[in-house]
Structure 1
Amino acid sequence: MEFNGVFHQAYDNYCYPLNEDELIINIKTGYDVKEVNIILGDPFAAGILGGGETWNGDKQPIIFKKKLKHQIWWTTTVKPQFKRLKYYFELITEDERWFYFEDGFVSAEQMALEGRSRQCFVFPWMNPCDIPVTPKWVNDTIWYQIFPDRFCNGDHSIDPDYVVPWRNRGKVKNEECFGGDLAGIIQKLDYLKELGINGIYLTPINESPSNHKYDTTDYAKIDPRFGDEETFKRLVLEAHKRDMRIMLDGVFNHCGYYFAPWQDVLAKGADSEYYDWFMINEWPLDFKHGAAKKGQFYTFGFFDNMPKLNTNNPAVRKYFIDICANWVENYHIDGLRLDVANEVSHRFCKELRARLKEINPDIYILGEIWHNALPWLRGDEFDAVMNYPLGESIKDFWIDKSQTNQDFEYTINRCYTNYMQQTNDVLFNLLDSHDTKRLRSDTKNLDQYFAQLAVLFAMPGSPCIYYGTEIAMPGSYDPDCRRCMPWDDIEAGKFKERIEMVSKLIHLRASEPLLKGRNFHFPDDFADNPRVIQFRKMGWVDTYVEVIVNCSDEDIEVPKDGEVLFERHCIDTTLLTNGILIRKIVGNGDKM
């Protein structure tokens, strides 16, 4: 047996409570393992521990599995009668049988030795307050990310003197201010509602000298270029009237150069009461030669004008958590995204969650983390993270023509075995953002563009599109990915077909419960054509929504069984290159 391919631990995403009654247990094995059984029972079923008892447990097969690149992920759900569980595994290959315990592998002969220890895996107790709980409404949400300065100028009376004329097309510069504001977003709420959007994620709106606002000057103040506190309250109110949620962007890893405590430090040095609010290693700072690159103090990246905040300091934590509490209590926001969340202290994140969930248990707390983020997703910090690994995996399949549908299956399964199921339900799924090249500029043609969006909208989690995605707006890396929304062209109908296509996908996602579900399966109907993606979102036995995307260079035959929910380049029973078919097959009604 491939012992190195086997792994399990009795915590994190390998063993965790889904709710107060159900415990999810997962184990990885190599492909040589053909059968996995779990032997389980209550730890005290045979008596107290160390009392000479003989504990055996009941054997159950583990039948559900997902394929990874080099391993199989086996999963089962159990209901411990007394909220605790003791267990081990039986692993069967074609010609071997081994038993897997916390201390390693045991042969059948060793199992028969009288008195030999059995160091089982144990999940001690399913304490309700330790069970990860995520806000259910997020799974029903289709997000729309807005970079305010470039979205819509709705109030010219607050335009600064240096505002430049709105640019319907072409590249933009970081130093250009176009006058987009909160009033402009309010004016376009009905447009977004018709598109099918029910969640808006705003990049920072607090006072800052830049257009991106990630160098905050005053966390307690709305930037005057965007409006004021009353304007933002009106935006939230009008959004809520349309059943739309609002999520703000909080920058707590670093601040801007003109943040008052930093200015106090620059003026007073080590005598400033705010000196320990920042991570300063050496004083005075030599800005002329790049103080950050010399390591004199820590910053975001190596930008001297973005000093890193010391969230290890209780005073810093209290200050920013009070700021966030005010946003929830005063503005009634529904979500909070934390910028550069993986560099903020875990202590800050834990205290922030406790405070905000006390005010609004249903608030959505999202972290910007681009890599595996399990340490932040154990139920006491974030509800979810921005699912960049999923977006990159989807795009890679179109960029890398050597990838097969089996590779696609492996990488998608990897994305959804990293975390708990309740986390997967609310992952923030995206294909591009203000920090990346736009999807349209990464994609050769519109057929491939819509195909990738179709896959995104069928994945577990909560999908987000970046403003302009509905018109296939192009844009290279920052700042080109932050172009102005071309409202004149949109209102003239130049993008009508594109908007209708994206809106149809959005409304399908919103109306079909199975597309939002966490259960999916990759059949192998197209094993002979490795560039055809096929997966099913499972519901009841024999009831599923199937997504088929033909990425090959040849047309394929696909019977139009069931109810066709969406199709593009599908003629009769022929799915053309870059064609999309989404259909629903209704079975006999037995639950899976």
Structure 2
Amino acid sequence: MDFNAVYHRANDNYCYPLNENQLIINIKTGYDVKYVNIVQGDPFKSGILGGGENWTGESVNIPYKKRLKNQLWWTTTVEPEYKRLKYYFELITEKEKWYYFEDGFVSEEQMNLEGRSRQCFVFPWMNPGDIPVTPAWVNDTIWYQIFPERFCNGDVSLNTEEMLSWRDKGSVRNDEFFGGDIQGIIDKLDYLKELGISGLYLTPINESPSSHKYDTTDYKRIDPHFGTEETFMRLVKEAHERGIRIMLDGVFNHCGKYFAPWKDVVKRGKESEYYDWFMINEWPFEHSKGAAASGQYYSFAFFDDMPKLNTNNVKVREYLLEVCEMWVKKYHVDGIRLDVANEISHVFCKELRTRMKAIKPDIYILGEIWHDAMPWLRGDEFDAVMNYPLGESIKDFWVDKGLTKEDFEYTINRCYTGYMQQTNDVLFNLLDSHDTKRLRSEVKNLDEYFQQLAVLFTMPGSPCIYYGTEIAMEGGHDPDCRRCMPWESIEAEEFKDRMEIIRQLIHLRKEEPLLRNRNFHFPNKISSPRIIEFLKIEWEDKYVEVIINCEEEDIEISRKGRVLFERHYIDNILLKNGILIRKIEN
């Protein structure tokens, strides 16, 4: 047996309570393992630990598995009668059987040795307060990310001399201002509702000198170029009336150079009461430029003008928590997204969850983390993270034509075995954002563009499109991905066909519960190497089938079930670059 391929631990995504009754248990093995049984039972079934007990458990087969690149991921659900579980595994290959305990592998001969210790895995207790709980509404939400300065200019009275005329086409720079504001978002709420959007994620709207607003000057004030508190509260109210929720962007890892506490530090140095609000290594600062890069203080990505906040400091934490409480109590926002969340202290993230959930139990707390985020997703910090690994995995399949449908299966399964199932339900799925090159500029073939979006809208989690995705808007890397929304062209119906495809995908996602379901399976019945095929399953005879033809030739797909969405599917032929989504009910 390939012992090196086997792994389990009795916590995190390998063993966790889904709810107060069900315990999910997962184990990785090599492909040589054909059957896995879990031998499980109550730890005290045979007496107290150390009391000479002879513990035996019930052997139950683990039937479900997902394929990873080099391993199998086996999963099962048990319901411990007394909320605790002791267990080990039986691993069976074609030639042998081994027993897997917390301290390693035991042969059948060793299992029969009298007096040999058996260090079982143990899940001590399913405490209700420790069970990760995520807001149910998020799985039903279709998000739309807005970069306010470039979305729509709704109140020209806010325009200043520095603002340029709205640029319907062409590249943009960060130092250019076009007058997008909160009133502009209000003016387009009906447009968004008609598109099918039910959640808005706004990049920062607090006072800042930049177009992107990630260098905050005042966390308690709406940027005057965007409007007032009253304008924003009207946006939230009118959005809620249309069934659209609002999520704000919290920039708590760093601030801007005009943030009053930082200005006080620059002026007074160690005499400032705010000196410990930041992570300063040397004082005085010797260089007007490059102080962060030289290590005199920490900042975001070596930018001098974005000094890093010390969220280990209780006063900093309290200040930022009060800001968030204001957003929830006064503005009635539904979610908070934390920028550069992986650099903020865990202490702050835990306090944030406690304080915000006390005010609004179903508030959505989202972290910007681009890598494995398990330490932040144990139920006491974030509800979810931005699922960049999924987006990159989807795009890679179309970039690398040498990848097969098996490679696609492996990488998608990797994305959904890293966290708990309740976390997977609310992962923030996206293909591009204000931080990346736009999908349309990554994918020159418009058919492939819609194929990738079809995958996005059929995966577990909560899909988000970046403003302009509905028209296949182009844009290079930051800052060119932040172009002005071309409203004149949209209103002239230049993108009518593209928008209709997005509407159909959004409508299908909202109307078909199986597309929001966490259960999916890759049957791989079609022999062609680059035809993606996966099922969203309710039970064996009821499922939605997604087939996407990424081959260079057409393929015959017999008509069965009810077609929910199709693109380039004619007379039982799925053309190259075609999409077929259908529901089977036997």
Shorter-chain TM-score range: over 0.9
The alpha-carbon deviation at position 286 of structure 1 amounts to 2.6
Q: CA separation in 1, counterparts of 2:534 and 2:313?
A: 48
- Counterpart amino acid of 1:173? R
Q: CA separation in 1, counterparts of 2:577 and 2:261?
A: 54
Deviations 1:402-438 (A, max 9, x none): 1000000000000000000000000000000000000
Q: CA separation in 1, counterparts of 2:152 and 2:184?
A: 5
- 2:117 is matched with which residue? 117
Q: Is the 8 A contact 1:143 1:200 kept in 2?
A: yes
Q: CA separation in 2, counterparts of 1:147 and 1:258?
A: 22
Q: CA separation in 1, counterparts of 2:534 and 2:271?
A: 62
- 1:448 is matched with which residue? 448
- 1:546 is matched with which residue? 545
- Counterpart amino acid of 2:80? P
- Counterpart amino acid of 1:30? G
Q: CA separation in 2, counterparts of 1:425 and 1:493?
A: 35
Which residues in structure 2 correspond to 1:326-337 (within 5 Å)? 326-337=326-337
Q: CA separation in 2, counterparts of 1:157 and 1:293?
A: 40
- 2:426 is matched with which residue? 426
Q: CA separation in 1, counterparts of 2:160 and 2:60?
A: 69
Where does structure 2 lack aligned partners over 5 or more consecutive residues? none
Q: CA separation in 2, counterparts of 1:450 and 1:97?
A: 47
Q: CA separation in 2, counterparts of 1:100 and 1:73?
A: 15
- Counterpart amino acid of 1:326? M
Determine helix, strand or coil for the equivalent of 2:539.
coil
- 1:585 is matched with which residue? 584
Say what the alpha-carbon RMSD is for the aligned residues. Answer: 0.6
Cα gap change, 1:289 to 1:468, in 2 (>3 Å): closer
1:565 paired to 2:564: yes
Q: CA separation in 1, counterparts of 2:259 and 2:299?
A: 14
Q: CA separation in 1, counterparts of 2:286 and 2:262?
A: 15
Determine helix, strand or coil for the equivalent of 1:433.
coil
Q: CA separation in 2, counterparts of 1:48 and 1:482?
A: 63
Q: CA separation in 2, counterparts of 1:113 and 1:525?
A: 46
Q: Is the 8 A contact 1:287 1:304 kept in 2?
A: no
Percent identity over the alignment is 73
- 2:242 is matched with which residue? 242
- 1:309 is matched with which residue? 309
Which residues in structure 2 correspond to 1:381-530 (within 5 Å)? 381-526=381-526, 528-530=527-529
Deviations 1:267-306 (A, max 9, x none): 1000000000000000111333511111000000010000
1:190 paired to 2:190: yes
1:199 paired to 2:199: yes
- Counterpart amino acid of 1:547? V
Q: TM-score, normalised by structure 2?
A: 1.00
The alpha-carbon deviation at position 160 of structure 1 amounts to 1.6
Determine helix, strand or coil for the equivalent of 1:493.
coil
- Counterpart amino acid of 2:393? S
- 2:177 is matched with which residue? 177
The alpha-carbon deviation at position 525 of structure 1 amounts to 1.2
Q: CA separation in 1, counterparts of 2:20 and 2:505?
A: 35
- 1:299 is matched with which residue? 299
- Counterpart amino acid of 2:535? R
Q: TM-score, normalised by structure 1?
A: 0.99
Which residues in structure 2 correspond to 1:97-112 (within 5 Å)? 97-112=97-112
Determine helix, strand or coil for the equivalent of 1:46.
coil
Determine helix, strand or coil for the equivalent of 1:287.
coil
1:208 paired to 2:208: yes
Q: CA separation in 2, counterparts of 1:173 and 1:41?
A: 62
Q: CA separation in 1, counterparts of 2:287 and 2:164?
A: 31
Determine helix, strand or coil for the equivalent of 1:230.
helix
Determine helix, strand or coil for the equivalent of 2:329.
helix
Deviations 1:53-103 (A, max 9, x none): 111110000010000000000000000000000000000001010000000
Q: CA separation in 1, counterparts of 2:372 and 2:160?
A: 42
Deviations 1:374-396 (A, max 9, x none): 00000000000000000000000
Q: CA separation in 1, counterparts of 2:21 and 2:289?
A: 60
Deviations 1:20-49 (A, max 9, x none): 000000000000000000000000111111
Determine helix, strand or coil for the equivalent of 1:331.
coil
The alpha-carbon deviation at position 540 of structure 1 amounts to 2.1
Q: Is the 8 A contact 2:548 2:579 kept in 1?
A: yes
- 1:96 is matched with which residue? 96
- 1:318 is matched with which residue? 318
- 1:251 is matched with which residue? 251
- 1:590 is matched with which residue? none
- Point out 4+ residue stretches in structure 1 off by more than 2 angstroms: 286-289
Q: CA separation in 2, counterparts of 1:102 and 1:363?
A: 37
Q: CA separation in 2, counterparts of 1:48 and 1:300?
A: 53
1:75 paired to 2:82: no
Q: Is the 8 A contact 2:430 2:463 kept in 1?
A: yes
- Counterpart amino acid of 2:340? V
Cα gap change, 1:168 to 1:289, in 2 (>3 Å): closer
- Counterpart amino acid of 1:541? E
- 2:30 is matched with which residue? 30
- 2:126 is matched with which residue? 126
